[in-house]
């Protein structure tokens, strides 16, 4: 029961006035970010990172703030799904299918309350999963050498491309672009500049934050500009009291439990994330429970399942990020970028050398969950007015905050130019259906991946056989290959068949 | 067609990456793999993956009309100008102008756009600079 005593220490770290306040702010901002269509968890967290730096926050409070935003966004997405039939972010997409019909039937209050409870249920048990699974994974990771790490990074890209993407080739393109960008700068091992084209600013490499804010936030502005469909909020749905009858909760309990397990597993898988969690949860639940053809017409279980699923996936995605340093989703990749910028490398060593960071974060997530439950059921009307802000006023604010954040870190016009370039690149990649998460993952992990490859080959004096020289490495390679190939061969059913609505491509990934 | 173009760009990028990587000068520190190999491998992956959309393209994405591209071009010009002028003219003025133009191009009525732009600039200045103490660009007027 080491995990439990470590968790108790974590609560001692988390329960300080500052950390509780940051968790509260994070939950509040996160719910708003989730609720606003066009501002999802990944770009929401990305534009808030500079804020965390500005405040001079150390790692633990910064991580508490931003993870609360992440959890909060998972709660908030459902508000606009239910009330407006527009997903507030991509993981909330499945919630529109039964949530909006419920609202049309005059059950908006019930749908909001039930989905809030389901969100809490999923997130609460997934955080327990994190408590027990992360230390186990750390035990395995302690056996890893450079060859295993190289295989692990490859696996992250392979499963990301295989499971989460519509087109494996485009996912590979995205990964290669990201890795290529990571190569810019002075080579860490030999000190020679690579791909810098003689530009001094490139010697340090491309900053993660510049790349992320550009790819996610700035490209979003371009997508809105092109669409010009600003501010069509549809008919306003009214709702009375926000409570769910006990019978409805009891009816949905089984759905929540199944979805929590599925969502958590989808989150743990490197690269899959919350969108996949809610998708799998909804489709499974529909297969099991749709006996009277009520799904799609406002079945409460169809609201509970995806919400439990995506919140559970958010907790699950933190497992590989903390234990292995390999993020399980787009937003955890952004969190990883923040940790790396603070010179903290997640992985087994983090659990040994900085247990306060890990366990303080986990304890804070438990606390944040209760705050979110309070904000999202009794106080949900606070957030509904936020939906009235039309994108034509919101997007300029997002762009300006992005510029302020990046400029605040470095004070460099050059970084702003690079950010704009990433924004333009991100726009074209998104239009061409090339996923952005592998690009981010490539930029983040590229140097570590190369470092481990070269270390492995230095150990073996150049013999590549070391890369598959242990049973652990072979196991990882097998998962990587199966994860990439299996979905191509037989498994169009694992892949989200997301209905193509114009709003969807705007919602960023989780 | 868009996808074929993507494939061609990927192949060109892959070739460029490999070519530039072979030009990397070696230093006196050596390891078995060296600094050239990994970028070359990545270039290889990019090239092979780029063949797929070239040979088997997805359906054409929904590109905006000429008007949409003009809007995006205007936004890029505004952003680049913003980045250049920020250290020269100070945060509040440049941000108010840039945010107004963006709000206007996103479909607001010009008067509302100016109100929104000025409000955004002042709100960010108050929250980020006065309350949180972030150093924003100082212009000749000190703000």
The confidence score (pLDDT) of residue A236 equals: 57
pLDDT surpasses 60 at B34: yes
**A408 with B136: Cβ contact below 8 A:** yes
The answer to whether residues B97 and B71 belong to one domain is yes
Domain that holds residue B42: 2-55
Max CA separation in chain A (angstroms): 71
**A54 with B128: Cβ contact below 8 A:** yes
Phi then psi dihedrals of residue A177, to 5 deg: -60, -45
CA atoms of A196 and A495, how far apart (whole Å): 39
Confirm or reject contact between B87 and chain A (CB < 8 A).
yes
Q: Which of A173, A399, A501 is most worth mutating to test chain B (most B CB atoms within 10 A of its CB)?
A: A173
**B103 with A187: Cβ contact below 8 A:** no
Which position has the higher pLDDT, A497 or A145?
A145
- Give the residue-averaged pLDDT of A448-462: 91
- State percent of chain A over pLDDT 70: 92
> Is A177 within a domain?
yes
Q: Which of B13, B30, B48, B49 is most worth mutating to test chain A (most A CB atoms within 10 A of its CB)?
A: B49
- Give the residue-averaged pLDDT of A54-75: 89
Name the DSSP letter for residue A481: H
The answer to whether residues B47 and B70 belong to one domain is no
> Is A263 within a domain?
yes
CA atoms of B143 and A414, how far apart (whole Å): 21
**A399 with B34: Cβ contact below 8 A:** no
Which residues 20-39 of chain B have a CB within 8 Å of chain A? 20-21, 24-27, 29-35, 38-39
The confidence score (pLDDT) of residue A411 equals: 84
**B120 with A396: Cβ contact below 8 A:** yes
The answer to whether residues B110 and B86 belong to one domain is yes
Residue A38 to chain B, least CA–CA distance (Å): 14
The confidence score (pLDDT) of residue A84 equals: 84
> Is A502 within a domain?
no
Which structure tokens are listed for A209? 């934050």
CB A192 within 8 A of CB B35: yes
Q: What is the pLDDT of residues B65-99, one digit of tens each?
A: 888 899 999 999 999 999 999 988 989 999 999 99
The confidence score (pLDDT) of residue B73 equals: 94
> Is A303 within a domain?
yes
Q: Which of B58, B64, B121 sits opposite A226 (nearest CB)?
A: B64
Which residues share a beta bridge with A193?
Answer: A186
Establish, for the pair of chains A and B, how many residue pairs have beta carbons separated by less than 8 Å.
206
**B76 with A450: Cβ contact below 8 A:** no
Q: In terms of C-beta density within 10 A (0-12 exposed, 13-18 middle, 19 or more buried), how is residue B66 classed? A: exposed
Determine the distance from the C-alpha atom of residue B139 to the mean position of all C-alpha atoms in its chain, rounded to a whole number. Answer: 24
The answer to whether residues B45 and B71 belong to one domain is no
The confidence score (pLDDT) of residue B122 equals: 94
Confirm or reject contact between B10 and chain A (CB < 8 A).
yes
pLDDT surpasses 70 at A205: yes
> Is B99 within a domain?
yes
> Is B46 within a domain?
yes
Q: What is the pLDDT of residues A17-53, one digit of tens each?
A: 999 999 999 999 999 988 887 788 888 888 888 778 7
Mean pLDDT lowest among A84-88, A165-169, A477-481, A503-507: A503-507
> Is B74 within a domain?
yes
Q: SS3 of A283, please? A: helix
Structurally, chain B folds into a number of domains equal to: 2
> Is B139 within a domain?
no
pLDDT surpasses 60 at A436: yes
**B32 with A462: Cβ contact below 8 A:** yes
User: With contacts defined as CB-CB under 8 Å, which chain A residues touch B134?
Assistant: 50-51, 54, 404, 408
The answer to whether residues B77 and B103 belong to one domain is yes
The number of residues making up chain A comes to 510
Phi then psi dihedrals of residue A492, to 5 deg: -70, -10
The answer to whether residues B9 and B33 belong to one domain is yes
Domain that holds residue A164: 2-231+244-489
Structurally, chain A folds into a number of domains equal to: 1
CB A438 within 8 A of CB A175: yes
pLDDT surpasses 50 at A501: no
The confidence score (pLDDT) of residue A39 equals: 80
The answer to whether residues B73 and B122 belong to one domain is yes
Cα–Cα–Cα angle for A270, A439, A224, nearest 5°?
110
- Burial of A377-415, coded b for 16+ CB within 10 Å and e otherwise, reads beebeebbebbeebbbbbbbbbbbbbbbbbbbbeebbeb
The answer to whether residues B37 and B70 belong to one domain is no
Residue B140 to chain A, least CA–CA distance (Å): 17
Q: Which of B58, B69, B117 sits opposite A167 (nearest CB)?
A: B58
Which residues share a beta bridge with A194?
Answer: A185
Q: Which of A194, A392, A502 sits opposite B103 (nearest CB)?
A: A392
Instruction: Give me the residue label for tokens 């030999």.
Output: A190
The answer to whether residues B73 and B94 belong to one domain is yes
- Give the residue-averaged pLDDT of A239-249: 79
- Give the residue-averaged pLDDT of B4-25: 91
Q: Which of B79, B105, B139, B143 is most worth mutating to test chain A (most A CB atoms within 10 A of its CB)?
A: B79
The answer to whether residues B42 and B71 belong to one domain is no
Which residues share a beta bridge with A185?
Answer: A194
The confidence score (pLDDT) of residue A180 equals: 93
pLDDT, averaged across chain A: 86
Which structure tokens are listed for A254? 């089984």
The confidence score (pLDDT) of residue A228 equals: 55
> Is A390 within a domain?
yes
pLDDT surpasses 50 at A324: yes
pLDDT surpasses 90 at A272: no
pLDDT surpasses 50 at A230: no
Confirm or reject contact between B61 and chain A (CB < 8 A).
yes
- Give the residue-averaged pLDDT of A481-494: 73
pLDDT surpasses 60 at A161: yes
**A228 with B71: Cβ contact below 8 A:** yes
- Give the residue-averaged pLDDT of A408-419: 89
pLDDT surpasses 70 at A286: yes
The answer to whether residues B84 and B126 belong to one domain is yes
Contacts of A120 (CB under 8 A, 6+ apart): A311, A369, A372, A373
> Is A330 within a domain?
yes
Name the DSSP letter for residue A186: E
**A432 with B75: Cβ contact below 8 A:** no
**Predicted confidence band of residue A490 (pLDDT cuts 50, 70, 90):** low
Tell me how crowded residue B82 is: count the other CB atoms within 10 A of its CB.
Answer: 24
**B136 with A407: Cβ contact below 8 A:** yes
**Predicted confidence band of residue A263 (pLDDT cuts 50, 70, 90):** very high
> Is B143 within a domain?
no
CA atoms of A56 and A387, how far apart (whole Å): 31
The confidence score (pLDDT) of residue A164 equals: 66
The answer to whether residues B49 and B73 belong to one domain is no
pLDDT surpasses 80 at A428: yes
The confidence score (pLDDT) of residue A505 equals: 41
């Amino acid at each position: 029961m080491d995990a439990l005593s470590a968790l108790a220490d974590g609560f001692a770290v988390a329960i300080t006035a500052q950390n509780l306040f940051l968790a509260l702010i994070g939950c509040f901002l996160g719910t708003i970010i989730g609720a606003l269509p066009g501002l999802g968890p990944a770009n929401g967290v990305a534009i808030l990172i500079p804020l965390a730096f500005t405040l001079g926050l150390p790692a633990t409070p910064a991580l508490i703030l931003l993870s609360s935003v992440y959890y909060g966004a998972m709660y908030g997405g459902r508000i606009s799904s239910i009330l407006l039939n527009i997903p507030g972010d991509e993981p909330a997409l499945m919630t529109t299918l039964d949530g909006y019909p419920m609202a049309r039937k005059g059950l908006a209050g019930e749908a909001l309350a039930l989905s809030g409870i389901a969100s809490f249920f999923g997130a609460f048990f997934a955080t327990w999963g994190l408590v027990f699974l992360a230390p186990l994974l750390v035990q395995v990771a302690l056996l890893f050498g450079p060859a295993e790490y190289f295989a692990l990074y490859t696996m992250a890209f392979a499963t990301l491309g295989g499971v989460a993407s519509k087109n494996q080739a485009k996912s590979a393109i995205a990964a290669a672009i990201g890795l290529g960008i990571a190569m810019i700068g002075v080579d860490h091992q030999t000190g020679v500049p690579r791909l810098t084209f003689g530009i001094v600013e490139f010697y340090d490499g491309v900053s993660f934050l510049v790349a992320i804010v550009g790819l996610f936030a700035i490209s979003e502005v371009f997508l809105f500009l092109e669409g010009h469909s600003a501010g069509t909020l549809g008919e306003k749905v009214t709702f009375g009291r926000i409570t769910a009858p006990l019978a409805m909760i009891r009816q949905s309990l089984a759905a929540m439990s199944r979805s929590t397990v599925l969502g958590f597993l989808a989150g743990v898988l490197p690269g899959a994330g919350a969108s996949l969690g809610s998708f799998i949860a909804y489709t499974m639940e529909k297969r099991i429970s749709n006996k009277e053809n009520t799904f799609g017409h406002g079945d409460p279980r169809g609201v509970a399942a995806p919400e439990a699923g995506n919140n559970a996936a958010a907790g699950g995605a933190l497992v590989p990020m903390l234990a292995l340093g390999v993020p399980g989703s787009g937003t955890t990749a952004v969190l990883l970028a923040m940790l790396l910028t603070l010179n903290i490398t997640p992985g087994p060593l983090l659990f040994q050398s900085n247990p306060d960071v890990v366990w303080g974060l986990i304890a804070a997530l438990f606390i944040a969950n209760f705050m979110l439950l309070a904000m999202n059921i009794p106080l949900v009307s606070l957030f509904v007015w936020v939906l009235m802000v039309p994108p034509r006023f919101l997007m300029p604010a997002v762009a300006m905050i992005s510029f302020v954040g990046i400029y605040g870190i470095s004070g460099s016009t050059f970084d702003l130019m690079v950010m704009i370039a990433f924004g333009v690149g991100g726009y074209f990649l998104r239009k061409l259906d090339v996923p952005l998460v592998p690009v981010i993952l490539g930029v983040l992990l590229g140097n570590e991946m190369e470092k481990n490859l070269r270390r492995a080959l230095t150990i073996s004096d150049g013999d590549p056989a070391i890369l598959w020289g242990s049973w652990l490495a072979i196991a990882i390679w097998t998962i990587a290959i199966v994860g990439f190939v299996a979905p191509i061969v037989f498994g169009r059913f694992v892949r989200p068949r997301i209905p193509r609505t114009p709003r969807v491509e705007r919602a960023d990934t989780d | 067609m868009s996808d074929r173009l993507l494939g061609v760009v990927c192949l060109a990028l892959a070739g460029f990456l490999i070519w530039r990587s072979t030009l990397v000068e070696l230093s006196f520190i050596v390891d078995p793999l060296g600094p050239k190999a990994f970028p070359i491998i990545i270039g290889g992956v990019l090239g092979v993956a780029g063949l797929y959309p070239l040979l088997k393209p997805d359906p054409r994405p929904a590109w905006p009309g000429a008007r949409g591209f003009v809007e995006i071009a205007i936004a890029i010009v505004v952003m680049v100008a913003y980045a250049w002028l920020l250290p020269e003219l100070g945060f509040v003025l440049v941000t108010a102008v840039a945010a107004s133009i963006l709000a206007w191009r996103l479909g607001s009525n010009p008067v509302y756009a100016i109100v929104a732009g000025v409000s955004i600039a002042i709100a960010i200045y108050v929250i980020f600079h006065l309350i949180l103490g972030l150093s924003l660009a100082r212009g000749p007027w000190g703000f």
